[in-house]
Structure 1
Amino acid sequence: MNLDTHQKRNTAARLKFLREKLSQVPQKPGVYLHKGYDGEILYVGKAKNLISRLKSYFTGLENHTPKTRALVAKIYDFEVIVTENEYESLLLENNLIKYNQPNYNILLRDDKTYPYIKIDINEKWPRVTIVRRRKKDGALYFGPFTISGQVQQLMNVINRFFPLVKCSSTVFKTVSRPCNYYDIKRCLAPCKLDVKKEEYHEHLNSVIAILNSKYKDISKKIKEEMLKAAEDMKFEKAALLRDQIKALESLTSNQSVTLDADIELDIFGSYWNEEIVTFYVTNIRDGKVVGGNSYLIRHLTEEPSEEGILDNKKVEQERIFTSFICQFYENKSVPESVLFENAINIISNSTYEMINSFLINKKQENLNIKKTLFYLKRDVYVKSIKHENKNLTNKIKDLIYHSNQNAENKFIEQNKMDENSNQMTMALQNFLKLDSIPSLIECYDISTFQGAETVASQVVFKNAKPFKSGYKKYIIKETVGKADDFASLREVIRRRFKDKEKVIYPDLLILDGGTPQVREVGWVLKSLGLGHLPFIGIAKSRGESNFTSSQIVNSFERLVVPKRNSDGDVLPEEEPETKILKQGSFEFKLVTQLRDEAHRFAITFHRQRRDKSSMKSVLLEIKGLGLKRRKKLIDIYPNLKDILQYPLIEVSEKTNIPLNIIQEIVKKIKDQNS
């Protein structure tokens, strides 16, 4: 069903093509993918009846909500994948959303900014490390950890009381003797000593149990091992196991809410709005509340109502609740039970069965065995665990209330942030008299020192908040060895907009500079055929030619706005207009935040480049440090400053570089940092 959609069609022809294509769609369950003009996937959805669902998009347009109309206006093609049943379509939809990350689907994007704990079980001697991104590499990932200090507390316990390998694979292969961690009993040193894999994996399995919050089970197991070690007169091992038990007690002592049953449960709370849905998930393990995180979902589109559906709002809520649950457990271990009382009147029986099957499948249990993991009523859940006491029921009731309350608090907090963001972008629109709200803004800054290591930064704000995935760094190539901010700025703008077919254009460009920079960029944009693109410069106001440093510091911020003709194209040959920003105004806050962030980003990158360059030159000055030795040194210590943290003899042994040369390297590094 992949017909050519890349040729541009007007609205009537586009809809005619889509409606004609409906005749090829079967009346079966499956997944559909809406595609845009250039073939990108806009939205992934599932349906009991594909033709009925797709027909609702392209007929009766006058009845669509503004969200649906906005999506349909961008659809140039669709693709369908038929499945055997609804459950298969749920799994396929979830996988396609995860893989393609369509803009119009609800997406759990927050996880990527939080740390995970990773155990690469593919390594011969697996290590426990902190990472920021989860990869498909066969490793075990735990998290994400959103509570401040939680991941560090866990790592402190693991590193101190469980003697696992801590050095990188490169260091592990090159060491000549066990390191200091072995001396202080924090590593078994399999790098050089004959360590039994069974012993190593005992400690590793204990760590995995801790990260799965199985504190009670692992405490019991370690206690038995400790008693056995003491009977066998292995007192050193017994002492280590005793310390591990104490560490576990310290982890559980911070968990203030304790239930009267050893249950494993996630409680979902939610707060619904037409634009935003917030969730709060409370985690209970071994009868203790071990954590809770809030999540925010923006639903940018609505599926149109199918024929015979009376309450489409309820259908929308069901779709979002279902999608959230599936995405939530995609990268997390499923507990023994999941309770979501707010969904009791939202989720239908058929969807309930699908979610329950999905959770069983994720828990890697037999789908053929009738089992319930998903609950919509707390009394049904309490009966299922056979702990029907009033105290437990009341505690679970309180936790449900607090989960919903925390979800509502998250919504209120986000609402205030959105209101502030809207005020800033609307204020800037009015101040600059822009045709539309500048939701996507880019700001550029050049950083150099006497023409050396010149770099540029591009920071992006989306809805008045930093959009880190849009940040870019540029190494300036055309002005190497000379300071020329104008040439550097021209190079950056040309590189940014060189591929006009694929580029996403911002609503506003901001340059850290005044009239000369604005006119220079005006000429570049005009030559690229982008003279209509809104852009401004930001600079300090200088009222006199003979200003003092104190006047510069106290001067107001000014925006430099280029002149344009009646068609909106820039006129770089004319003198730009200068607008003074009122200090403390919404537009002042937004523009100065962008400028300061671009400056910080550029300066940080410039320092990194400069430090790296000067460090390489330091190595070249040292006699006896040839190419092979330099390469080996940098392979083992990519950041040469790390050498200062280790004994010089150890560095010398690892690198096979004579001690006197290592001493010279350390001296040079210290001199450079002084």
Structure 2
Amino acid sequence: MENSDKSPGTALARGAALIGNFARSLPETPGVYRMLDAAGGVLYVGKARALRRRVTSYTQTEKLPIRLQRMVAETADMVFVHTHTEVEALLLESNLIKKLKPRFNVLLRDDKSFPYILITRDHDFPLLTKHRGAHNRKGDYFGPFASVVSVNHTVAILQRAFMLRNCADTVFANRSRPCLQYHIKRCTAPCVGLVSQQDYAGQVRLAHDFLSGKSREVQDSFVQQMQQASAVQNYEEAAKFRDRIRALTLIQSSQDVNVEGLGDADVVGLWRENGRSCVMVFFFRGGQNFGNRAYFPRHNAEEPDEALLGAFLAQFYENKPAPREILLSHPVEEAALLEQALNEKNAGRFKVRLAVPEKGQKKRLVELVVRNAREALEREALQLAGTGKLLEGVAALFDLDETPQRIEVYDNSHIAGTNMVGAMIVAGPEGFRKNAYRKFNIREAAAADDYGMMREVMQRRFAKAMEEGRGPETEGWPDVLLIDGGQGQFNAVHAALEDMGIAGSLTLVSIAKGPDRNAGREKFFMAGRPMFQLPVDDPVLHYLQRLRDEAHRFAIGSHRARRSKQIAISPLDDVPGIGAKRKKALLLHFGSAQEVARAGVQDLRQVEGISDAVAEKIYHYFHDNL
């Protein structure tokens, strides 16, 4: 006979009673609550103006939708954080949702930081560059741009139009002659004094004005200067301004969606169909369209539009600045509170306003964004349908009981045993989960030991997960491990998994390239089966190749990034008392850091700016550390 404690009704009543016990001790003050399951996993994060009242509402189970009844039935514990205001609670809630990813919340996926254009303000000759990440460096940030492609395209054209430097400060400090950028008219070579600081500041001001929305004024200025040069028959100078005008026109012509009078704004449109949704965001800055991006948040089909869009916005702006105006396709839940939270984050620089346009150009723009959201959701549905069939093929090929929900693919990269990196990529029904990718800087394996590298990666990936209670049967545990390699790599990984006692909790497969590394002749290795191959035209083979190639791409990229970072390090960077000017003088005099290290005290004294004391310090730094 089935245990009555396992029945849904009993579990629901038990969960409601537990929540009621917590509610009785809570104050009627703002705060954030977390519902936890029996294993300590976070089921749900919520915020409340009055904690006791909000938490008590979960005990009235007959009024809850099925989704929340399931959540209450699984609740085994609760955690509370008290805040001073409801706005603080909202900000903390969105932060915790993004960090903990509770399965009963609306979750914003693929929330990568956006690229910006940065004009620095910590150097006499500011740098124009692409920037992604925290805005820690002093300067002016323009964006966000919807993609790296669009920001790279814009930066390249801005260099043609305004001729600002794009080199790192360390490179700038060590130049002795103009680089290629000067010769192809992309820079005015401030590094070697071919432009004064005042004239360069004028170039920076024009670029700043253009990115701030004053494109018409900047273009008119170039036209006037071109005409003046032409009037005095200085046709070479006139041609330079003509080319710069063409560059600016190229940027403006690529802004295919523009609305007159729209300054800094994000336009957000929601479309829902068959239990799924797409939120499309168009970015406008300085009246210019900086592109758009589609999001497919994870949520329950019962979630109302106003709650879904409100949760999306709270998470979306949690790690990025909001513009002055956010135009929406639907009203959002607690709009006034959300506005207040965004304005607090904005620290009073300007007022952020949420609006649902009802007429005019802005209304038509929102309708355009919603139409784009609908089309993006249709494309996503087609892609998911195709991926679903391929995953069914993977399940059949590898004798899985169910269609895999999480496939982890591993690869290593190094050059002659240096800068060794292991990489993990993740794929599932929704495609590649790039926010779950991981890289492992190899610490213990011997140089060029591919098997040792794989063993170390497995140990670090799974031992830590087991320690934190994220073992088999928990969310985030893989169904399939796909290893880029042959029988040797398979054996190394299988042994590592057996040592940890988890070999039976997942399916391990290795995929090796065929003879002469021919794509299409891959060999597959699994426990208990002889090596096998698939027909060259098999769609499942093509899917597994795509997974392997993505892991290879990520591993190579991680290795190159690590190698580039090491290459950029100069032995002179760690010498006490040696700044950019002295380093430049030393490198110009000796030709390389290695020659500086070999130099005697007398030789070092010959360099301009190097005193006797500094020469002694440099000499002893290199020779005392041998």
With the length of structure 2 as denominator, give the TM-score of the two structures: 0.70
Aligned equivalent of 1:493, options 458, 463, 475: 458
Give the match for residue 656 of structure 1: 589
Give the match for residue 130 of structure 1: 130
Contact 1:445–1:456 (CA under 8 A) maintained in structure 2: yes
Aligned equivalent of 2:438, options 471, 481, 501: 471
Query: Deviation string for 1:311-359 (max 9, x for gaps)?
Result: x743xx222212333444556665554432x31xx546xx333345456
Give the match for residue 372 of structure 2: 406
CA distance in 1, matches of 2:490, 2:172: 54
Q: CA deviation at 1:67?
A: 7.2
- CA RMSD, Structure 1 to Structure 2 (Å): 5.3
CA distance in 2, matches of 1:264, 1:474: 41
Cα distance 1:423–1:228, how it changes in 2: closer, same or farther (>3 A)?
same
Query: Deviation string for 1:86-105 (max 9, x for gaps)?
Result: 55544454455567776765
State how 1:169-568 maps to structure 2 within 5 Å: 169-175=169-175, 186-187=187-188, 189=190, 195=196, 201-216=201-216, 247-256=247-256, 266-273=266-273, 275-283=275-283, 290-300=289-299, 313-314=303-304, 317-329=305-317, 337-340=325-328, 342-343=329-330, 346-347=331-332, 351-357=334-340, 373-379=353-359, 393=360, 395-445=361-411, 456-463=422-429, 465-468=431-434, 469-473=436-440, 475=442, 477-480=444-447, 489-499=454-464, 500-502=466-468, 505-512=477-484, 518=490, 521-539=493-511, 559-563=524-528
Query: Deviation string for 1:489-529 (max 9, x for gaps)?
Result: 44443343333313653222223456665555444323322
Contact 2:267–2:366 (CA under 8 A) maintained in structure 1: yes
Contact 2:35–2:79 (CA under 8 A) maintained in structure 1: yes
Q: How many residues align?
A: 567
CA distance in 2, matches of 1:585, 1:497: 32
State the AA in 1 paired with 2:295: L
CA distance in 1, matches of 2:163, 2:194: 13
Give the match for residue 547 of structure 2: 594
Contact 1:276–1:296 (CA under 8 A) maintained in structure 2: no
Cα distance 1:243–1:74, how it changes in 2: closer, same or farther (>3 A)?
farther
State the AA in 1 paired with 2:545: T
Q: CA deviation at 1:214?
A: 3.9
Cα distance 1:596–1:145, how it changes in 2: closer, same or farther (>3 A)?
same
Contact 2:161–2:245 (CA under 8 A) maintained in structure 1: no
Contact 1:280–1:292 (CA under 8 A) maintained in structure 2: no
CA distance in 1, matches of 2:432, 2:447: 30
CA distance in 1, matches of 2:556, 2:368: 44
Contact 2:416–2:447 (CA under 8 A) maintained in structure 1: no
State the AA in 2 paired with 1:76: D
Q: CA deviation at 1:168?
A: 1.5
Contact 1:559–1:579 (CA under 8 A) maintained in structure 2: yes
CA distance in 2, matches of 1:273, 1:378: 23
Query: Deviation string for 1:247-289 (max 9, x for gaps)?
Result: 4444324445565657665443220246532123345567x66
CA distance in 1, matches of 2:572, 2:300: 59
Q: CA deviation at 1:536?
A: 2.9
CA distance in 2, matches of 1:403, 1:227: 41
Query: Deviation string for 1:395-445 (max 9, x for gaps)?
Result: 555433322111001111111222222222233234434344322222334
State how 1:41-60 maps to structure 2 within 5 Å: 43-57=44-58, 60=61
Give the match for residue 151 of structure 1: 151
User: SS in structure 2 opposite 1:509?
Assistant: strand
Q: CA deviation at 1:361?
A: 5.7
Query: Deviation string for 1:11-50 (max 9, x for gaps)?
Result: 9988765442222222344433445678776644333432
User: SS in structure 2 opposite 1:497?
Assistant: helix
User: SS in structure 1 opposite 2:590?
Assistant: coil
State the AA in 2 paired with 1:471: R
CA distance in 2, matches of 1:142, 1:431: 49
State the AA in 1 paired with 2:308: I
CA distance in 2, matches of 1:147, 1:603: 21
Cα distance 1:15–1:562, how it changes in 2: closer, same or farther (>3 A)?
farther
CA distance in 1, matches of 2:417, 2:153: 45
Q: CA deviation at 1:68?
A: 6.7
User: SS in structure 1 opposite 2:55?
Assistant: helix
State the AA in 1 paired with 2:293: S
CA distance in 1, matches of 2:419, 2:311: 47
Q: CA deviation at 1:127?
A: 1.6
Query: Tell me, which stretches of 5 or more residues in structure 2 are unaligned?
Result: 1-10, 471-475, 596-626
State the AA in 2 paired with 1:470: Y
Q: CA deviation at 1:599?
A: 4.7
Give the match for residue 642 of structure 1: none
Cα distance 1:355–1:223, how it changes in 2: closer, same or farther (>3 A)?
farther
State the AA in 1 paired with 2:461: R
State the AA in 2 paired with 1:496: R
Q: CA deviation at 1:375?
A: 2.7
Query: Deviation string for 1:353-398 (max 9, x for gaps)?
Result: 334545666676699xxx994332333xxxxxxxxxxxxx3x5554
Q: CA deviation at 1:450?
A: 8.9
Contact 2:108–2:298 (CA under 8 A) maintained in structure 1: no
CA distance in 2, matches of 1:455, 1:329: 33
Give the match for residue 600 of structure 2: none
Cα distance 1:513–1:67, how it changes in 2: closer, same or farther (>3 A)?
farther
Give the match for residue 624 of structure 2: none
State the AA in 2 paired with 1:405: R
CA distance in 1, matches of 2:253, 2:534: 53
Contact 1:339–1:376 (CA under 8 A) maintained in structure 2: yes
Give the match for residue 25 of structure 2: 24
Contact 1:424–1:589 (CA under 8 A) maintained in structure 2: no
Contact 1:58–1:72 (CA under 8 A) maintained in structure 2: no
Query: Tell me, which stretches of 5 or more residues in structure 1 are unaligned?
Result: 1-9, 303-311, 380-392, 543-548, 564-575, 617-626, 638-650, 663-674
CA distance in 1, matches of 2:427, 2:300: 22
Cα distance 1:229–1:73, how it changes in 2: closer, same or farther (>3 A)?
farther
Q: CA deviation at 1:178?
A: 6.7
